[in-house]
Structure 1
Amino acid sequence: MLQPQAVIFDIGNVLTRWQPEAFYDRVIGEDRRRALFAAVDLHRMNDLIDAGALFRETIYDWADQYPDWRPEIRLWYDRWIELASPRIDGSIRLQRALRAKGVPVFALTNFGRHTFEDALPKMDFLQDFDRLYVSGVMGVIKPDPQIYQMVEEDCGVAPDRLLFTDDRADNITAAARRGWRTHQFESWQGWAARLVAEGLLSKEEAGL
């Protein structure tokens, strides 16, 4: 089988942790976090941002709709960089090892347009991609099949020569249905082993 021509990384829970509940547990305590997430669909709010809605304005508008939780909801914007931390350094090393070998590396991420602009100077690895596919810019989010088609049409690489990792099964399934090679991310070591198996990195290069 031919090697992949390009490797595509999701960002949240692949290159950096995305676990808002854990952030709120630390900041307001688990009991209040459970009450907050039961009262307010914060993940739905974030989906709107990922689809292109304004970042600060959307969050502050939702906060105003739920005055009992206004300060807590505003944290989603005010302390967003903590919400999207820490980095997964093993994955970042793999991203850079691939590029050092001349393998094109793309990002395909559900990420707000304005959120991404805010994150770029704060997360250096976001600048280490050959192509960026950001849902908030594209106007469609994973796992909608259209976003995968848009990637194919833009990069010109055949689906079976794209290797894609994402932590979410629904996103992986949608890509596989289009013929992409896929890897459901659980740890950087597992992803490293897949890159070695595909002949893209040696064990040493992959840190194994």
Structure 2
Amino acid sequence: MPIEAVIFDIGRVLIDWQPEAFYDRMIGPERRRALFSEVDLEGMNLSVDLGADLSEAVAGMAARHPDWAAEIRLWESHWLEMASPAIPASVRILTALKSRGVPVFALTNFGVPTFEIARAAYPFFDLFDRAYVSGRLGVIKPNPAIYEIVERDSGIAPGALIFTDDRPENIAAAKARGWQTHLFDGAPGWAARLVAEGVLDETERTAHA
């Protein structure tokens, strides 16, 4: 079945996402390990991805862990530093697809306020024809419901969608619904797969990946 839309995850596909590396720089690896052991920052971030307010989530976590309050507040005040830089080769692929007139979607676990922060910092976010953002939808990957939302909203058959994500469980959930999938491990492999599917040509693969 020909591909009718190309779907990108965002974190670690189009922009980097390395909270641990950020905290290593800010407070050192030893204190970072202690922080991540004692404070469920991942759970806090997950709540934002599900639609919680970032400021409220950070304030609540800081209140529950006063010894780490200053470090926890960095999650909000320095969020963009954790979600950077852009991955240029992936952005070039997105741009090439858009230039060819191929529909491009985002399917991402992302909070509403953080998505807007990133959108302001990264103009290529506006290239997406549709952006399926977990914080807006109230459901996250790999819950099958979020993939169903994409299918229903786009009206595109599962087999005509191709999706890349860096997390195997998210890929497995899409594949279970009949999507074409690619586990992202770098832009060159993703570009090669798109060439194989006929949505990029070899010249574009060489130029953009």
How much does 1:122 deviate? Answer: 1.2
Deviation for aligned residue 1:3:
2.2
**In the alignment, is residue 52 of structure 1 matched against residue 51 of structure 2?**
yes
Deviations 1:149-190, CA, capped at 9 Å, x for gaps: 011000000000000000000000000000000000010111
Secondary structure of the corresponding residue to residue 21 of structure 1: helix
Q: CA deviation at 1:203?
A: 2.0
1:11-50 matches, within 5 Å, as: 11-50=10-49
The one-letter amino acid of 1:184's match is: L
Equivalent residue letter for 1:203? E
Partners of 1:173 and 1:146 in 2: CA distance: 14
Secondary structure of the structure 1 residue equivalent to 2:121: coil
Structure 1 stretches (4+) deviating beyond 2 angstroms?
none
- 1:74-128 deviation digits (Å, cap 9, x = unpaired): 1110000001011101000000100100100000000001211222211111111
- SS of match in other structure, 1:164: strand
Q: Which amino acid letter does the alignment assign opposite residue 159 of structure 1?
A: P
Residue matched to 1:65 = 64
Deviations 1:131-164 (A, max 9, x none): 0100000000000000000110000000000000
Q: Note the alpha carbon deviations across 1:59-84, whole angstroms, 9 max, x for none.
A: 12111110111111111100000010
Tell me what 1:7 maps to: 6
TM-score (normalizing by structure 2): 0.97
CA distance in structure 2 between the aligned counterparts of 1:196 and 1:55, rounded to whole angstroms: 39
What stretches of structure 2 of length at least 5 have no aligned partner?
none
CA displacement at 1:30 relative to structure 2: 0.5
Distance 1:32 1:15 in 2: 29
- In structure 1, runs of 5+ residues without a counterpart are none
1:89 aligns with 2:88: yes
Matching residue of 2:142: 143
Q: CA RMSD in A?
A: 0.9
Count of paired positions: 207
Query: Partner letter of residue 125 of structure 2?
Result: L
The share of aligned pairs that are identical, in percent, is 57
